């Protein structure tokens, strides 16, 4: 059988590697799926359902050979806020709507646009999410009782402070065992997942010595069913759909960012290249189907994808195997999961938060002390103190403003004249002075984009130099890579105003994109085909041939080589 596409060159040895990597990642995904579900405010089995269904579909239909999909830590604050505000049933409907949005993003080939989100924004909200996840597990780690969960960070911290007196030493000891086992296992037995060891060891200790003294999954959420739930279509009404559009959009945007970042990491580790639009479609279909079986929104998981690759994965089959492994564990061992203490889940999520915090990248950007540092801090602070949508919106808006400001500083407009001492008579700014400047011809060198951020600078610079008696303005545009409609309108105003006073604008060395814009707006026709030149020298020759010889009489500027002859000719008339 000849394999093609993502399975090109596939063989029996690769299949064995996929089985092994899928088995390992599946075992790792089980405690994470339950932990992410609990932290998101829903029952632990919903995280298992998501791991199975979304994990299989994302690997089967996505655009990356190695992507492992499922519930992730990045979704926790978003999903928890939706559950608190709208309820679990509406979370399922929001997940379906988000899936539809992801499919549309893929069909309209918007995958590449996600990559343009500034790095300080993604680092800022990722670090903020890590803080929220970490702080959200303090309650379970300490075994605090009687706490009310709030949507925002500060009220939750106040709630912890108020209930510190209810600390449970059994929970703290259970969490400490889980921490120790999770941290020591990778050093002593690298092939066994530390999170799984920590969970099993601490659960066994708690069951043997602390039974009835620590809260468990069973005591808090009830028994975990050992089967998948039946197909259920959430009730859809126009009012519910309108209400959930914003939460669904947030889920879709975060899911697209997280999944494509994970795919990029996989590309870097394997030297392959993913299909971003196909990845979005696969993610979308998974998020449409998963809620129909009670699952929560899913996306690509960076840590599990990296683990999949490190354990020898060769194709998407490893991701499919990972989902099947979780399904078998659900069927065979679900009753035992009810005895897992919540204090054992807390360290796992805290380690996830620590690993996803991007602390090194965070510190690196801060050290630069640039505008990116400001964007990073504002996005991070708003993520922690307000909400992820607010943080991303403000972070993106601030990034755009700072980008426009930086770009506006890139446009340089200098008045130039030919250097007569240069054999090629190249134009130089230092040749222009009060005693050496042609009153009839002005040459300007433009460097940088002419867009809405720089258009006013261009307009002011031109208005300051135009004067009576000036017949020709030569604009050297070889270093103007981009012109938008605002820049075009300012250029059009210069052309029309100068034409009314009897002057002519000449364009030298224009690049393809600006030329295309001028042709589409018909400004090219207004300026005149004959007024466009490949070289500045040709534009100068055109202008000099049409000067007012009478004005040259007595002129002592001698801005051009031809000026001496023109001055002598004017004296003879």
Could you list the pLDDT tens digit for every one of the 573 residues in the chain? Answer: 455 556 666 777 888 989 999 998 998 899 999 999 999 999 999 999 999 999 999 999 999 999 999 999 889 999 999 999 999 999 999 999 999 999 999 999 988 777 788 999 989 998 999 999 999 999 999 999 988 888 889 999 999 999 999 999 999 999 999 999 999 999 998 878 888 899 999 999 999 999 889 999 999 988 899 888 889 888 889 999 999 999 999 999 999 998 988 898 888 888 888 999 999 999 999 999 999 999 999 999 988 998 899 888 889 999 999 999 999 999 998 888 889 999 999 999 999 899 888 899 999 999 999 999 999 999 999 999 998 888 988 999 999 899 888 888 889 999 888 887 776 768 887 788 888 888 889 999 999 999 999 999 999 888 877 778 889 999 999 999 999 999 999 999 999 999 998 899 999 999 999 999 999 999 999 999 999 999 999 999 999 888 888 777 777 777 787 777 776 654 444
Point out which residues pair with 479 in neighbouring strands. Answer: 447
Partners of 351 in beta bridges:
none
Which residues belong to CATH 3.30.750.24 in the chain? 412-572
pTM of the shown model: 0.80
Q: Which two tokens stand for residue 416?
A: 């130039």
Dihedral sign of CA atoms 411, 416, 418, 419 in order: negative
Residue count (the chain): 573
**CATH homologous superfamily of 412-572:** STAS domain (3.30.750.24)
Rg (CA), the chain: 33
Q: Give the residue from 363, 389, 407 showing the smallest Cα distance to 254.
A: 389
DSSP states along 154-205: HHHHHHHHHTGGG--HHHHHHHHHHHHHHHHHHHH-TTS-HHHHHHHHHHHH
pLDDT at 572: 45
Give the span between the Cα atoms of 250 and 346, in whole angstroms.
26
Rounded to whole angstroms, the Cα distance separating 219 from 229 reads: 21
For residue 341, what is the DSSP state? B
């Amino acid at each position: 059988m000849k394999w093609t596409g993502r399975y090109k060159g596939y063989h029996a040895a690769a299949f064995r590697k996929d089985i092994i990597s899928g088995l390992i990642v599946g075992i790792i995904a089980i405690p994470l799926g339950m932990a992410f579900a609990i932290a998101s405010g829903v029952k632990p089995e919903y995280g298992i359902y998501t791991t199975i269904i979304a994990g299989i579909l994302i690997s089967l239909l996505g655009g990356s050979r190695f992507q492992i999909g499922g519930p992730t830590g990045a979704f926790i604050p978003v999903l928890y806020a939706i559950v608190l505000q709208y309820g679990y049933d509406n979370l399922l409907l929001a997940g379906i709507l988000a899936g539809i949005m992801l499919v549309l993003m893929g069909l309209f080939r918007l995958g590449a646009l996600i990559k343009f989100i500034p790095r300080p924004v993604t680092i800022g909200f990722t670090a903020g999410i890590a803080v929220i996840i970490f702080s959200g597990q303090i309650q379970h780690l300490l075994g605090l009782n009687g706490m009310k969960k709030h949507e925002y960070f500060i009220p939750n911290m106040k709630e912890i402070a108020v209930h510190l007196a209810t600390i449970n030493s059994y929970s703290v000891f259970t969490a400490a065992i889980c921490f120790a086992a999770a941290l020591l296992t990778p050093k002593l037995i690298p092939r066994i997942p530390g999170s799984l060891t920590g969970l099993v060891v601490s659960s066994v200790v708690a069951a043997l010595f602390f039974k009835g003294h620590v809260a468990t999954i069973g005591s808090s959420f009830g028994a975990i069913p050992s089967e998948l739930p039946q197909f259920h279509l959430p009730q859809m009404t126009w009012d519910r759909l309108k209400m959930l559009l914003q939460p669904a959009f947030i889920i879709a945007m975060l899911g697209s960012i997280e999944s494509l970042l994970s795919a990029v990491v996989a590309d870097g580790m394997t030297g392959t290249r993913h299909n971003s639009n196909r990845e979005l479609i696969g993610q979308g279909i998974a998020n449409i189907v998963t809620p129909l079986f009670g699952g929560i929104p899913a996306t690509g998981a960076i840590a599990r994808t990296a683990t999949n690759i490190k354990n020898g994965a060769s194709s998407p089959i490893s991701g499919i195997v990972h989902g099947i492994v979780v399904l078998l564990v659900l069927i065979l061992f679900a009753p035992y999961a009810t005895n897992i203490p919540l204090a054992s889940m807390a360290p796992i999520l805290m380690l996830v938060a620590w690993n996803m915090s991007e602390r090194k990248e965070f510190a690196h950007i801060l050290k630069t002390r640039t505008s990116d540092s400001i964007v990073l801090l504002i996005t991070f602070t708003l993520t922690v103190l307000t909400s992820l949508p607010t943080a991303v919106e403000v972070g993106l808006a601030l990034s755009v403003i700072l980008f426009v400001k930086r770009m506006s500083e890139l446009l340089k407009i200098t008045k130039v004249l030919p250097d007569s001492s240069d054999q090629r008579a190249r134009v130089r700014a230092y040749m222009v002075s009060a005693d050496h400047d042609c009153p009839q011809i002005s040459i300007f060198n433009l460097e940088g984009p002419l867009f809405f951020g720089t258009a006013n600078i261009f307009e002011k610079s031109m208005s300051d130099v135009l004067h009576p008696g000036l017949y020709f303005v030569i604009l050297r545009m070889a270093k103007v890579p981009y012109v938008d409609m605002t820049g075009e309108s300012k250029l059009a105003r210069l052309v029309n105003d100068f034409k009314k006073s009897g002057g002519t604008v000449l364009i030298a060395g224009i690049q393809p994109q600006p030329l295309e814009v001028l042709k589409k707006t018909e400004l090219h026709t207004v300026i005149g085909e004959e007024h466009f030149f490949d070289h500045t020298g040709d534009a100068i020759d055109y202008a000099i041939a049409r000067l007012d010889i009478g004005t040259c009489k007595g002129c002592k500027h001698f801005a051009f080589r031809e000026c001496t002859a023109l001055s002598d000719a004017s004296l003879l008339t």
